[in-house]
Amino acid sequence: MPQSPQNIMITGGAGFIGSHVVRLFVNKYPESKIVNVDKLTYAGNLNNLKDIENKPNYKFIKADIADLDKMREIIRENDITGIIHLAAESHVDRSIKDPFTFARTNVMGTLALLQAAKEYWDTFADKYDGKLFYHISTDEVYGALEITNPEGVKAPFTTKASADDHMAFGVEFFTETTKYDPHSPYSASKASSDHFVRAYHDTYDLPTIVTNCSNNYGPYQFPEKLIPLFINNILQGRNLPVYGKGENVRDWLFVEDHARAIDLIFHEGKPGDTYNIGGFNEWKNIELIKVLIKTVDKLTGKPEGTSDHLITYVTDRLGHDMRYAIDSRKLQEELGWEPSLQFEEGIEKTVKWYLDNKDWVDNVTSGDYEKYYDKMYSNR
Ligand code: NAD
Ligand code: TYD
Protein backbone atom coordinates (compact mmCIF):
# COMPACT_ATOMS: atom_id res chain seq x y z
CA MET A 1 0.00 0.00 0.00
CA PRO A 2 1.43 3.41 -0.98
CA GLN A 3 2.97 5.54 1.75
CA SER A 4 3.67 9.24 1.21
CA PRO A 5 5.95 10.83 0.09
CA GLN A 6 5.46 9.74 -3.47
CA ASN A 7 4.55 11.07 -6.91
CA ILE A 8 0.79 11.05 -7.20
CA MET A 9 -1.15 11.74 -10.38
CA ILE A 10 -4.69 13.03 -9.81
CA THR A 11 -6.85 13.08 -12.94
CA GLY A 12 -9.77 15.50 -13.21
CA GLY A 13 -8.21 17.69 -10.52
CA ALA A 14 -9.65 20.87 -12.04
CA GLY A 15 -13.22 19.59 -11.60
CA PHE A 16 -15.50 19.72 -8.60
CA ILE A 17 -14.41 16.75 -6.44
CA GLY A 18 -10.93 16.57 -7.96
CA SER A 19 -10.10 20.13 -6.89
CA HIS A 20 -10.93 19.29 -3.27
CA VAL A 21 -8.76 16.15 -3.46
CA VAL A 22 -5.85 18.06 -5.03
CA ARG A 23 -6.07 20.81 -2.38
CA LEU A 24 -6.14 18.26 0.45
CA PHE A 25 -3.15 16.28 -0.88
CA VAL A 26 -1.03 19.34 -1.80
CA ASN A 27 -1.51 20.82 1.68
CA LYS A 28 -1.31 17.59 3.68
CA TYR A 29 1.64 15.94 1.88
CA PRO A 30 4.22 18.65 1.17
CA GLU A 31 6.90 16.01 0.50
CA SER A 32 4.82 14.33 -2.21
CA LYS A 33 4.59 15.62 -5.77
CA ILE A 34 0.98 16.09 -6.88
CA VAL A 35 0.47 16.08 -10.65
CA ASN A 36 -2.98 17.23 -11.74
CA VAL A 37 -3.86 15.94 -15.22
CA ASP A 38 -6.99 17.50 -16.68
CA LYS A 39 -8.31 18.23 -20.17
CA LEU A 40 -10.14 21.35 -18.95
CA THR A 41 -13.49 20.55 -20.49
CA TYR A 42 -16.39 22.88 -19.69
CA ALA A 43 -16.34 21.30 -16.19
CA GLY A 44 -12.64 21.85 -15.50
CA ASN A 45 -11.65 25.21 -14.08
CA LEU A 46 -8.21 26.17 -12.78
CA ASN A 47 -9.82 28.96 -10.74
CA ASN A 48 -10.86 26.14 -8.39
CA LEU A 49 -7.20 25.78 -7.38
CA LYS A 50 -5.99 29.39 -7.15
CA ASP A 51 -4.98 28.98 -3.48
CA ILE A 52 -2.53 26.13 -4.13
CA GLU A 53 -1.41 26.68 -7.73
CA ASN A 54 1.98 28.11 -6.72
CA LYS A 55 2.89 25.47 -4.14
CA PRO A 56 6.22 23.78 -4.95
CA ASN A 57 4.78 20.25 -4.75
CA TYR A 58 2.00 20.97 -7.29
CA LYS A 59 2.08 20.66 -11.06
CA PHE A 60 -0.70 21.01 -13.64
CA ILE A 61 -0.67 19.28 -17.04
CA LYS A 62 -3.42 19.85 -19.59
CA ALA A 63 -4.03 16.50 -21.28
CA ASP A 64 -6.74 14.10 -22.42
CA ILE A 65 -6.78 10.82 -20.47
CA ALA A 66 -7.88 8.98 -23.63
CA ASP A 67 -4.54 9.89 -25.28
CA LEU A 68 -2.56 6.72 -24.44
CA ASP A 69 0.84 8.00 -25.61
CA LYS A 70 0.43 11.18 -23.57
CA MET A 71 -0.53 9.18 -20.46
CA ARG A 72 2.55 6.96 -20.96
CA GLU A 73 4.74 10.07 -21.23
CA ILE A 74 3.27 11.82 -18.15
CA ILE A 75 3.49 8.72 -15.96
CA ARG A 76 7.09 7.98 -17.04
CA GLU A 77 8.42 11.54 -16.91
CA ASN A 78 6.92 12.22 -13.49
CA ASP A 79 7.81 8.79 -12.09
CA ILE A 80 4.20 8.32 -11.00
CA THR A 81 3.67 5.63 -8.34
CA GLY A 82 0.09 6.39 -7.31
CA ILE A 83 -2.93 7.40 -9.40
CA ILE A 84 -6.22 8.79 -8.13
CA HIS A 85 -8.51 8.79 -11.14
CA LEU A 86 -11.43 11.23 -11.08
CA ALA A 87 -11.48 12.61 -14.64
CA ALA A 88 -14.81 11.84 -16.25
CA GLU A 89 -17.84 13.21 -17.99
CA SER A 90 -20.13 13.36 -14.98
CA HIS A 91 -23.57 14.79 -15.79
CA VAL A 92 -26.46 12.37 -16.46
CA ASP A 93 -28.48 14.88 -18.55
CA ARG A 94 -25.49 15.45 -20.86
CA SER A 95 -24.98 11.68 -21.20
CA ILE A 96 -28.58 11.31 -22.44
CA LYS A 97 -27.84 13.84 -25.22
CA ASP A 98 -24.29 12.71 -26.06
CA PRO A 99 -23.45 9.15 -24.91
CA PHE A 100 -20.38 8.81 -27.17
CA THR A 101 -18.36 11.44 -25.32
CA PHE A 102 -19.07 9.52 -22.12
CA ALA A 103 -17.87 6.21 -23.56
CA ARG A 104 -14.73 7.87 -24.93
CA THR A 105 -13.62 9.60 -21.75
CA ASN A 106 -15.00 7.33 -19.06
CA VAL A 107 -14.31 3.97 -20.69
CA MET A 108 -11.44 4.49 -23.16
CA GLY A 109 -9.81 7.12 -20.95
CA THR A 110 -9.79 4.79 -17.93
CA LEU A 111 -8.44 1.95 -20.09
CA ALA A 112 -5.63 4.16 -21.43
CA LEU A 113 -4.64 5.13 -17.89
CA LEU A 114 -4.67 1.52 -16.66
CA GLN A 115 -2.51 0.40 -19.57
CA ALA A 116 -0.05 3.29 -19.21
CA ALA A 117 0.29 2.68 -15.45
CA LYS A 118 0.78 -1.07 -15.95
CA GLU A 119 3.47 -0.58 -18.61
CA TYR A 120 5.46 1.84 -16.44
CA TRP A 121 5.12 -0.13 -13.20
CA ASP A 122 6.16 -3.33 -15.06
CA THR A 123 9.62 -1.73 -15.48
CA PHE A 124 10.28 -1.68 -11.69
CA ALA A 125 12.30 -4.49 -10.11
CA ASP A 126 9.77 -4.63 -7.27
CA LYS A 127 6.99 -4.22 -9.87
CA TYR A 128 3.75 -3.23 -8.16
CA ASP A 129 5.06 -2.82 -4.59
CA GLY A 130 3.93 0.50 -3.14
CA LYS A 131 1.93 1.35 -6.28
CA LEU A 132 -1.82 1.98 -6.45
CA PHE A 133 -4.39 2.76 -9.13
CA TYR A 134 -7.38 4.22 -7.27
CA HIS A 135 -10.52 4.63 -9.38
CA ILE A 136 -13.29 6.96 -8.22
CA SER A 137 -16.75 5.76 -9.19
CA THR A 138 -20.38 6.35 -8.36
CA ASP A 139 -23.28 4.59 -6.66
CA GLU A 140 -25.25 5.02 -9.91
CA VAL A 141 -23.61 1.84 -11.32
CA TYR A 142 -25.81 -0.20 -8.95
CA GLY A 143 -29.03 0.98 -10.63
CA ALA A 144 -32.07 2.21 -8.72
CA LEU A 145 -33.71 1.26 -5.42
CA GLU A 146 -37.34 1.31 -4.34
CA ILE A 147 -38.64 4.04 -2.03
CA THR A 148 -40.95 1.66 -0.20
CA ASN A 149 -40.31 -1.24 2.15
CA PRO A 150 -41.53 -4.74 1.25
CA GLU A 151 -44.99 -3.89 2.68
CA GLY A 152 -45.22 -1.01 0.21
CA VAL A 153 -44.94 1.71 2.88
CA LYS A 154 -42.90 4.78 1.88
CA ALA A 155 -39.69 5.21 3.88
CA PRO A 156 -39.36 8.21 6.19
CA PHE A 157 -36.80 10.09 4.07
CA THR A 158 -35.84 13.57 5.28
CA THR A 159 -37.24 13.04 8.74
CA LYS A 160 -33.67 12.84 10.05
CA ALA A 161 -34.13 9.12 10.46
CA SER A 162 -30.81 7.52 11.43
CA ALA A 163 -29.08 4.83 9.41
CA ASP A 164 -30.40 2.27 11.91
CA ASP A 165 -33.95 3.62 11.54
CA HIS A 166 -33.69 3.21 7.77
CA MET A 167 -32.22 -0.28 8.09
CA ALA A 168 -34.93 -1.28 10.55
CA PHE A 169 -37.57 0.06 8.16
CA GLY A 170 -36.50 -2.58 5.69
CA VAL A 171 -35.69 -0.51 2.61
CA GLU A 172 -32.71 -1.73 0.60
CA PHE A 173 -29.27 -0.11 0.35
CA PHE A 174 -26.41 -0.47 -2.13
CA THR A 175 -23.61 -2.55 -0.62
CA GLU A 176 -20.22 -3.44 -2.13
CA THR A 177 -21.69 -6.71 -3.40
CA THR A 178 -24.84 -5.28 -5.02
CA LYS A 179 -25.04 -6.44 -8.64
CA TYR A 180 -24.29 -3.75 -11.24
CA ASP A 181 -27.41 -2.57 -13.08
CA PRO A 182 -26.69 0.83 -14.68
CA HIS A 183 -29.48 2.63 -16.54
CA SER A 184 -28.17 5.92 -17.92
CA PRO A 185 -25.36 6.28 -20.48
CA TYR A 186 -23.37 7.98 -17.67
CA SER A 187 -23.76 5.12 -15.21
CA ALA A 188 -23.22 2.53 -17.98
CA SER A 189 -19.91 4.20 -18.88
CA LYS A 190 -18.82 4.34 -15.22
CA ALA A 191 -19.84 0.69 -14.70
CA SER A 192 -17.79 -0.29 -17.73
CA SER A 193 -14.75 1.62 -16.44
CA ASP A 194 -15.11 -0.10 -13.03
CA HIS A 195 -15.10 -3.49 -14.79
CA PHE A 196 -11.89 -2.62 -16.65
CA VAL A 197 -10.20 -1.58 -13.39
CA ARG A 198 -11.15 -4.89 -11.74
CA ALA A 199 -10.11 -6.78 -14.88
CA TYR A 200 -6.60 -5.25 -14.65
CA HIS A 201 -6.45 -6.34 -11.02
CA ASP A 202 -7.75 -9.87 -11.64
CA THR A 203 -5.76 -10.47 -14.85
CA TYR A 204 -2.45 -8.68 -14.24
CA ASP A 205 -2.47 -8.24 -10.43
CA LEU A 206 -2.38 -4.48 -10.86
CA PRO A 207 -3.03 -3.01 -7.38
CA THR A 208 -6.36 -1.25 -7.76
CA ILE A 209 -9.11 0.09 -5.51
CA VAL A 210 -12.59 1.18 -6.62
CA THR A 211 -14.84 3.38 -4.51
CA ASN A 212 -18.49 4.09 -5.25
CA CYS A 213 -19.77 7.29 -3.69
CA SER A 214 -23.20 8.86 -3.37
CA ASN A 215 -24.15 12.34 -4.68
CA ASN A 216 -21.69 15.06 -3.62
CA TYR A 217 -22.43 18.73 -2.93
CA GLY A 218 -20.39 21.72 -1.79
CA PRO A 219 -18.19 24.58 -3.08
CA TYR A 220 -16.94 24.60 -6.70
CA GLN A 221 -19.69 22.36 -8.12
CA PHE A 222 -20.60 23.32 -11.66
CA PRO A 223 -24.09 24.90 -11.72
CA GLU A 224 -25.69 22.25 -13.92
CA LYS A 225 -26.12 19.79 -11.03
CA LEU A 226 -29.19 20.10 -8.81
CA ILE A 227 -27.84 21.95 -5.74
CA PRO A 228 -25.63 24.67 -7.32
CA LEU A 229 -28.09 25.15 -10.22
CA PHE A 230 -30.97 25.74 -7.82
CA ILE A 231 -28.97 28.00 -5.48
CA ASN A 232 -28.03 30.12 -8.48
CA ASN A 233 -31.57 30.16 -9.85
CA ILE A 234 -33.05 31.20 -6.48
CA LEU A 235 -30.51 34.05 -6.27
CA GLN A 236 -31.47 35.17 -9.80
CA GLY A 237 -35.22 34.73 -9.22
CA ARG A 238 -35.37 32.09 -11.96
CA ASN A 239 -37.62 29.00 -12.05
CA LEU A 240 -36.48 25.79 -10.37
CA PRO A 241 -37.12 22.94 -12.85
CA VAL A 242 -38.12 19.94 -10.70
CA TYR A 243 -38.11 16.74 -12.78
CA GLY A 244 -41.33 14.69 -12.55
CA LYS A 245 -43.00 14.92 -9.15
CA GLY A 246 -39.79 15.65 -7.24
CA GLU A 247 -40.15 12.31 -5.46
CA ASN A 248 -36.82 10.81 -6.46
CA VAL A 249 -34.43 10.21 -3.59
CA ARG A 250 -30.69 10.93 -3.51
CA ASP A 251 -28.13 10.32 -0.77
CA TRP A 252 -26.04 13.49 -0.25
CA LEU A 253 -22.46 13.81 1.02
CA PHE A 254 -20.44 17.00 1.60
CA VAL A 255 -17.56 17.00 -0.88
CA GLU A 256 -14.82 17.53 1.74
CA ASP A 257 -16.00 14.38 3.51
CA HIS A 258 -15.58 12.50 0.22
CA ALA A 259 -12.07 13.94 -0.20
CA ARG A 260 -11.15 12.81 3.35
CA ALA A 261 -12.44 9.32 2.57
CA ILE A 262 -10.32 9.23 -0.61
CA ASP A 263 -7.20 10.20 1.37
CA LEU A 264 -7.88 7.50 3.97
CA ILE A 265 -8.61 4.79 1.41
CA PHE A 266 -5.60 5.74 -0.77
CA HIS A 267 -3.31 5.25 2.21
CA GLU A 268 -5.06 2.48 4.17
CA GLY A 269 -7.45 0.71 1.79
CA LYS A 270 -6.81 -2.86 0.70
CA PRO A 271 -5.75 -3.29 -2.95
CA GLY A 272 -8.32 -5.31 -4.88
CA ASP A 273 -11.12 -4.06 -2.63
CA THR A 274 -14.19 -1.90 -3.19
CA TYR A 275 -15.53 0.61 -0.66
CA ASN A 276 -18.91 2.36 -0.76
CA ILE A 277 -18.82 5.97 0.46
CA GLY A 278 -21.92 7.72 1.79
CA GLY A 279 -23.25 9.42 4.90
CA PHE A 280 -26.70 7.79 5.29
CA ASN A 281 -28.31 11.06 4.27
CA GLU A 282 -31.25 10.47 1.94
CA TRP A 283 -33.49 13.25 0.77
CA LYS A 284 -36.49 13.32 -1.52
CA ASN A 285 -35.64 15.98 -4.15
CA ILE A 286 -38.61 18.20 -3.33
CA GLU A 287 -37.82 18.17 0.41
CA LEU A 288 -34.20 19.05 -0.28
CA ILE A 289 -35.30 21.87 -2.59
CA LYS A 290 -37.47 23.31 0.20
CA VAL A 291 -34.44 23.31 2.55
CA LEU A 292 -32.39 25.04 -0.15
CA ILE A 293 -35.02 27.74 -0.70
CA LYS A 294 -35.36 28.34 3.03
CA THR A 295 -31.57 28.59 3.48
CA VAL A 296 -31.03 30.96 0.55
CA ASP A 297 -33.95 33.20 1.59
CA LYS A 298 -32.66 33.29 5.19
CA LEU A 299 -29.06 34.10 4.22
CA THR A 300 -30.16 36.82 1.78
CA GLY A 301 -32.41 38.45 4.41
CA LYS A 302 -35.72 37.60 2.71
CA PRO A 303 -38.82 36.50 4.64
CA GLU A 304 -39.42 32.74 4.74
CA GLY A 305 -41.47 31.58 1.75
CA THR A 306 -40.35 34.40 -0.60
CA SER A 307 -38.92 32.06 -3.25
CA ASP A 308 -41.33 29.12 -2.90
CA HIS A 309 -43.21 30.20 -6.05
CA LEU A 310 -40.09 29.43 -8.18
CA ILE A 311 -40.72 25.67 -7.90
CA THR A 312 -41.76 24.50 -11.37
CA TYR A 313 -42.55 20.87 -12.15
CA VAL A 314 -41.20 19.90 -15.58
CA THR A 315 -41.09 16.76 -17.76
CA ASP A 316 -39.20 13.97 -16.06
CA ARG A 317 -35.64 12.97 -17.02
CA LEU A 318 -35.60 9.92 -19.34
CA GLY A 319 -34.95 6.73 -17.37
CA HIS A 320 -34.81 8.72 -14.11
CA ASP A 321 -33.52 6.42 -11.32
CA MET A 322 -35.92 6.53 -8.35
CA ARG A 323 -33.61 6.16 -5.36
CA TYR A 324 -29.92 5.84 -4.54
CA ALA A 325 -28.78 4.93 -1.02
CA ILE A 326 -25.34 3.83 0.11
CA ASP A 327 -24.52 1.43 2.92
CA SER A 328 -21.04 2.63 3.95
CA ARG A 329 -20.64 0.47 7.04
CA LYS A 330 -17.60 -1.34 5.58
CA LEU A 331 -15.67 1.94 5.27
CA GLN A 332 -16.86 3.12 8.67
CA GLU A 333 -16.05 -0.13 10.46
CA GLU A 334 -12.82 -1.18 8.68
CA LEU A 335 -11.15 2.21 8.24
CA GLY A 336 -12.95 4.36 10.84
CA TRP A 337 -14.23 7.03 8.42
CA GLU A 338 -17.34 9.02 9.23
CA PRO A 339 -18.95 12.12 7.73
CA SER A 340 -18.12 15.33 9.61
CA LEU A 341 -21.18 17.44 8.87
CA GLN A 342 -24.92 17.31 9.37
CA PHE A 343 -26.75 18.01 6.11
CA GLU A 344 -28.30 21.35 7.17
CA GLU A 345 -24.83 22.60 8.22
CA GLY A 346 -23.34 21.44 4.92
CA ILE A 347 -26.11 23.14 2.92
CA GLU A 348 -25.67 26.38 4.87
CA LYS A 349 -21.90 26.28 4.30
CA THR A 350 -22.49 25.62 0.58
CA VAL A 351 -25.04 28.41 0.13
CA LYS A 352 -22.69 30.83 1.95
CA TRP A 353 -19.86 29.82 -0.39
CA TYR A 354 -21.98 30.51 -3.50
CA LEU A 355 -23.08 33.87 -2.03
CA ASP A 356 -19.44 34.83 -1.29
CA ASN A 357 -18.19 33.62 -4.69
CA LYS A 358 -20.62 35.16 -7.16
CA ASP A 359 -17.70 35.97 -9.47
CA TRP A 360 -16.83 32.27 -9.74
CA VAL A 361 -20.44 31.46 -10.71
CA ASP A 362 -20.67 34.39 -13.19
CA ASN A 363 -17.39 33.29 -14.70
CA VAL A 364 -18.35 29.65 -15.27
CA THR A 365 -21.84 30.51 -16.48
CA SER A 366 -20.60 33.18 -18.91
CA GLY A 367 -18.10 30.87 -20.59
CA ASP A 368 -15.34 33.47 -20.14
CA TYR A 369 -13.05 30.99 -18.41
CA GLU A 370 -13.35 28.52 -21.28
CA LYS A 371 -12.24 31.19 -23.76
CA TYR A 372 -9.41 32.21 -21.44
CA TYR A 373 -8.03 28.70 -21.05
CA ASP A 374 -8.50 27.87 -24.74
CA LYS A 375 -6.18 30.78 -25.47
CA MET A 376 -3.78 30.04 -22.67
CA TYR A 377 -3.21 26.36 -23.40
CA SER A 378 -3.92 26.11 -27.13
CA ASN A 379 -0.22 25.71 -28.00
CA ARG A 380 0.72 23.15 -25.36
P1 NAD B 1 -16.68 17.22 -12.82
O2 NAD B 1 -17.49 17.09 -14.06
O3 NAD B 1 -16.90 18.40 -11.94
O4 NAD B 1 -15.12 17.20 -13.18
C5 NAD B 1 -14.58 16.30 -14.11
C6 NAD B 1 -13.18 16.76 -14.46
O7 NAD B 1 -12.63 15.83 -15.41
C8 NAD B 1 -13.13 18.15 -15.13
O9 NAD B 1 -12.10 18.91 -14.56
C10 NAD B 1 -12.85 17.84 -16.59
O11 NAD B 1 -12.11 18.86 -17.24
C12 NAD B 1 -12.03 16.57 -16.47
N13 NAD B 1 -12.09 15.75 -17.70
C14 NAD B 1 -13.21 15.40 -18.40
N15 NAD B 1 -12.86 14.67 -19.48
C16 NAD B 1 -11.51 14.55 -19.45
C17 NAD B 1 -10.56 13.89 -20.29
N18 NAD B 1 -10.94 13.23 -21.40
N19 NAD B 1 -9.25 13.95 -19.96
C20 NAD B 1 -8.85 14.63 -18.85
N21 NAD B 1 -9.69 15.28 -18.04
C22 NAD B 1 -11.02 15.23 -18.33
O23 NAD B 1 -16.91 15.86 -12.03
P24 NAD B 1 -17.02 15.59 -10.46
O25 NAD B 1 -18.41 15.79 -10.04
O26 NAD B 1 -15.91 16.29 -9.77
O27 NAD B 1 -16.74 14.01 -10.45
C28 NAD B 1 -15.41 13.50 -10.37
C29 NAD B 1 -15.45 11.99 -10.36
O30 NAD B 1 -16.23 11.53 -9.26
C31 NAD B 1 -16.09 11.39 -11.61
O32 NAD B 1 -15.36 10.24 -11.96
C33 NAD B 1 -17.50 11.03 -11.16
O34 NAD B 1 -18.00 9.94 -11.90
C35 NAD B 1 -17.25 10.67 -9.72
N36 NAD B 1 -18.40 10.89 -8.80
C37 NAD B 1 -19.05 12.08 -8.79
C38 NAD B 1 -20.11 12.28 -7.88
C39 NAD B 1 -20.83 13.61 -7.81
O40 NAD B 1 -21.85 13.70 -7.10
N41 NAD B 1 -20.37 14.66 -8.45
C42 NAD B 1 -20.50 11.24 -7.03
C43 NAD B 1 -19.79 10.02 -7.08
C44 NAD B 1 -18.75 9.86 -7.96
P1 TYD C 1 -28.08 15.67 -10.42
O2 TYD C 1 -27.52 16.75 -9.57
O3 TYD C 1 -28.05 15.82 -11.90
O4 TYD C 1 -27.37 14.31 -9.96
P5 TYD C 1 -27.69 12.76 -10.39
O6 TYD C 1 -28.62 12.74 -11.51
O7 TYD C 1 -26.33 12.26 -10.77
O8 TYD C 1 -28.22 12.12 -9.15
O9 TYD C 1 -29.60 15.44 -10.01
C10 TYD C 1 -29.97 15.13 -8.67
C11 TYD C 1 -31.47 14.88 -8.64
O12 TYD C 1 -32.16 16.10 -8.96
C13 TYD C 1 -31.92 13.87 -9.69
O14 TYD C 1 -32.99 13.09 -9.14
C15 TYD C 1 -32.45 14.71 -10.83
C16 TYD C 1 -33.00 15.96 -10.12
N17 TYD C 1 -32.90 17.22 -10.89
C18 TYD C 1 -34.03 18.01 -11.07
O19 TYD C 1 -35.15 17.68 -10.60
N20 TYD C 1 -33.92 19.17 -11.79
C21 TYD C 1 -32.73 19.58 -12.33
O22 TYD C 1 -32.68 20.65 -13.00
C23 TYD C 1 -31.56 18.77 -12.13
C24 TYD C 1 -30.23 19.16 -12.70
C25 TYD C 1 -31.70 17.58 -11.39
Residue-wise pLDDT for 276-319, tens only, equals 999 999 999 999 999 999 999 999 999 999 999 999 999 999 99
pLDDT digit string (tens) for 195-214?
999 999 999 999 999 999 99
Q: Output the average pLDDT for the chain.
A: 93
pLDDT digit string (tens) for 329-360?
999 999 999 999 989 999 999 999 999 999 99
Ligand closest to CA 86: 1
How many whole angstroms separate alpha carbon 212 and alpha carbon 175? 10
Q: What is the pLDDT of residue 320?
A: 97
Active site residue 362: no
Of the residues 120, 142, 186, 220, which is catalytic? 186
State the 10-residue block means of pLDDT for the chain, 380 residues long: 82 98 98 98 96 98 98 98 98 97 98 98 95 98 91 74 75 94 98 98 98 98 96 96 96 97 98 96 94 97 97 97 94 95 94 96 78 51
Active site residue 181: no
Active site residue 140: yes
- Cβ atoms 241, 314 nearer than 8 A: yes
Q: What is the pLDDT of residue 160?
A: 65
Q: What is the pLDDT of residue 371?
A: 59
**Closest ligand 1 atom number to CA of residue 40:** 11
How many whole angstroms separate alpha carbon 169 and alpha carbon 146? 13
Give Dmax over CA atoms of the chain in angstroms: 67
Nearest to 131 by CA among 86, 84, 85, 82: 82
